[in-house]
Structure 1
């Protein structure tokens, strides 16, 4: 599905990550190489500041036409409704005129489809409610619903459950895994990463320090990875 060879990423406001290192740039990924195959369910873990989000967004840039992204930034439009924010995930599937009419006066079928999706995600709020009136966990589920509504083969998630309790996170992850052939997700909950995914990738200080099937992972490796984060 995707191969990365000796990837180096830099954060700089005025420079592209594709440029060579420039004065003032901060390197966030160092000489990273990996291959992710179609059909894999991959968790990306690591302490704070390890470069997990940077790697995920680079993958999205490479896979954009076939992947749906659920980002930490969410990108919701606060003064629009739950329906409008979720339907925006389907804009690329329709003609602009269809989208315009549907956003102005939603069609019954789309209202039904989005309503059913919200029920699956346990988002029990009127579809006409504006997202600025929702809690943090509800907003996360709207962002997740929009990503699911894109109906892509690949799902990329950047800690999409950070505002949710572990039980809810587990239920939502089951839905994501069932609806997508391939899943690559930054996961904060190590237990969830180890139990639900086929493969675990770990980053530390921008470097790949672990890439293994979950059955082969030593728990001591994982604990050691997070020791510096706990001290900080």
Structure 2
């Protein structure tokens, strides 16, 4: 995969610190993502991945640090400008309002609507294209709340794509999806060429689809770089408390094999 050029990052974060009560979740985290780049955030549960993602779109205000969009402080930008530039694919849609799938995806067009709101023909075309890209066009007339978990994921991805952002933030977009759908969704994301930050649990997906990864553990950056470099087998084993092995797929992508913590302990004794 081709890495980013030397241009300034589209979105960057500097010195992020945050705690929930007395428990620090982020402790001095820096990151940046460039145009056309897919940056993966990986790490064990509780490492700060989702917290960092929430800070990147101001749904959570950090205790310290700042986020810059094209070099401008995100905290000082109007909400409408942020919404036009940054789309978020969360793990679920809040609320229980009965909406069709088409209506949910059209919500992504709200930041681009005129003073009197409403949607036009262009909005419908964009929403249709987003649904088709996400493999969810056949669901357009279905009620969103009645969909399966995997179907909902596809629709939420379509809504984010319909927003036509410069930056796409995704929190576990492959959750609830079968294996083929996981690869399809991440292929779609790469093809869009957006500055993308994606939280992933599957290191094999991160290795295949991310240009760079950041390994978070204990609220700190433990490694950063291209997957083949940052996901060093010893670091992965120590971070996740597993016995890890690396292998090369037919296309040269690094892939991992894992065994449980008891096996990791046995390996440590020869």
TM-score range, shorter chain: 0.7 to 0.9
1:48 aligned onto 2:45: yes
Q: Match of 2:255?
A: none
Structure number with the bigger relative contact order (C-alpha 8 A, sep ≥ 6) is: 1
1:97 match: secondary structure:
coil
**Residue 73 (structure 1) shift:** 3.2
Q: Match of 2:29?
A: 32
| Cα distance, 1:116–1:215 mapped onto 2, change above 3 Å | same
1:186 aligned onto 2:183: no
Q: Match of 1:221?
A: 235
Structure with more of its chain in helix, by fraction: 1
Tell whether the 8 Å contact from 1:76 to 1:85 is kept in structure 2 after alignment. Answer: no
Structure 2: gaps spanning 5 or more residues: 1-8, 59-66, 70-81, 243-259, 262-270
Number of residue equivalences: 212
> Matches of residues 80-229 of structure 1 in structure 2 within 5 Å?
80-99=99-118, 102=119, 110-217=123-230, 218-227=232-241
CA distance in 2, matches of 1:208, 1:87: 37
The one-character-per-residue Cα deviations of 1:29-72 (angstroms, maximum 9, x if unpaired) are 11223343343321000011111000111112245342111011
Return the TM-score normalized by structure 2.
0.71
CA distance in 2, matches of 1:149, 1:116: 8
| Cα distance, 1:126–1:46 mapped onto 2, change above 3 Å | closer
Q: CA RMSD in A?
A: 2.2
Structure 1: gaps spanning 5 or more residues: 12-23
